[in-house]
Structure 1
Amino acid sequence: MSYSTLSNGSKVTSAVAAVIEDAAGRVLLCRQAGGHRLWGLPGGKIRTEESPVHAVIRDIREETGLETEIIELIGMYQLTGDACGSTTPDLFVHVFRGRLEGGGPALNAPGRISGLAWHSPDALPEPLTATTRTAIADSAAGRTGVIREVERDKEPAIADA
């Protein structure tokens, strides 16, 4: 796992994600298997000595069983705030636009995610991560190279299994 420490002493976790659309313009989302079972973009934490591009390709392969072509960087997002408790570290996420190579995605990491589904950017499921919501809006607007600070959402109730 890749952590950095800011000058104020707080820790930051580095992660990656990708906005992947199908031919109908729907976005691929993953639902977490544990915790608050949030919906989010496919991706995960960057491992030590791993580049963001290699990390996102690896994580998408692990979650969907498919290879991904990375097209461009949508943006870099720092998820911050104490809405989930003051001990939650900031998360710095590189979000790419990607395209799946091969067939349809299949749930390939049931310990980490409980489902994969295509959703219209206009009808996203809840609970959804704040970073996902912001990155999809930036992607739909055609933005690239965005740098944003995103405020963490208040912890949702834990969804039923």
Structure 2
Amino acid sequence: MVTRRRAGLLRGTVYRVFYRLPRKMQRFLARRVSPKYILGAVILLFDADGERLLMLRQPPGFGWGLPAGLIDRGEAPAHAAVRELREETGLSVELKPANPSAVVHVGGRWVDMVFTARVDAETHEPSVDGAEVLDARWHRLDDLPPLTPASAKLLSHYGIGPYSEALGEPVHD
């Protein structure tokens, strides 16, 4: 059995050797032993009154979700959110971080950076391509359509949707 002192000495030796390696080798090793995370950008786009939320129906069409997508390597999360919103809905909107601004999903391997905005729904009508997004509509927060499980779970962090009862009052924008 390794004592606590011996484990500390061993760990210290490993770190000293690691930090003497060339920078490229350090990065290579760190990427091989570090956990991998998928980073996504999600947008909570509310109407001006905060009573409706823009929802999307995407293939295969089994529920409604939020405008969202993966963050490209080296891309700022805010830029990814703006890009995804524009690609999926044709809308260009100034976004700000939601509160909470990051949601770590069960299993800890997926992290969503969440952004929000309020816009006039009458002047911000989404347009969809029919391929990546089948439909985009404004839905009342108290009458949401059937949601994808991922969207329902994410919205619960903001006191919205079918899983929000335990959280109490909505905390959105």
Q: Which bin holds the TM-score, normalised by the shorter protein?
A: 0.5 to 0.7
Residue matched to 2:111 = 92
What code does the residue aligned with 2:55 have?
L
Cα 1:109–1:37 shift into 2, 3 Å: farther
What's the RMSD between the two structures over aligned residues?
Answer: 2.9
1:126 aligns with 2:146: yes
Scaled by the length of structure 2, the TM-score of the pair is: 0.62
| Greater radius of gyration (CA) | 2
Gaps of 5+ in 2: 1-30, 161-168
State which of 68, 81, 84 in structure 2 corresponds to 1:43.
Answer: 68
How many residues are paired up?
A: 130
- Distance across 2 between alignment mates of 1:96 and 1:17: 6
Scaled by the length of structure 1, the TM-score of the pair is: 0.66
- Distance across 2 between alignment mates of 1:65 and 1:33: 18
SS state at 1:122 partner? helix
Gaps of 5+ in 1: 82-88, 145-161
State which of 129, 137, 151 in structure 1 corresponds to 2:159.
Answer: 137
SS state at 1:137 partner? coil
Moved over 3 A (4+): 5-9, 99-102
Residue matched to 2:84 = 59
More helix by share: 2
Residue matched to 1:78 = 104
Q: Is the 8 A contact 1:17 1:56 kept in 2?
A: yes
Residue matched to 2:132 = 112
1:32-73, CA deviations, whole angstroms, 9 ceiling, x for partnerless residues? 222x63311112110111111000000001111121111333
Residue matched to 1:15 = 40
Identity %: 27
State which of 52, 62, 66 in structure 2 corresponds to 1:26.
Answer: 52
Cα 1:38–1:80 shift into 2, 3 Å: farther
Bigger RCO (CA 8 Å, 6+ sep)? 1
More strand by share: 1
Q: Is the 8 A contact 2:158 2:171 kept in 1?
A: no
1:125-151, CA deviations, whole angstroms, 9 ceiling, x for partnerless residues? 11332344324426x73368xxxxxxx
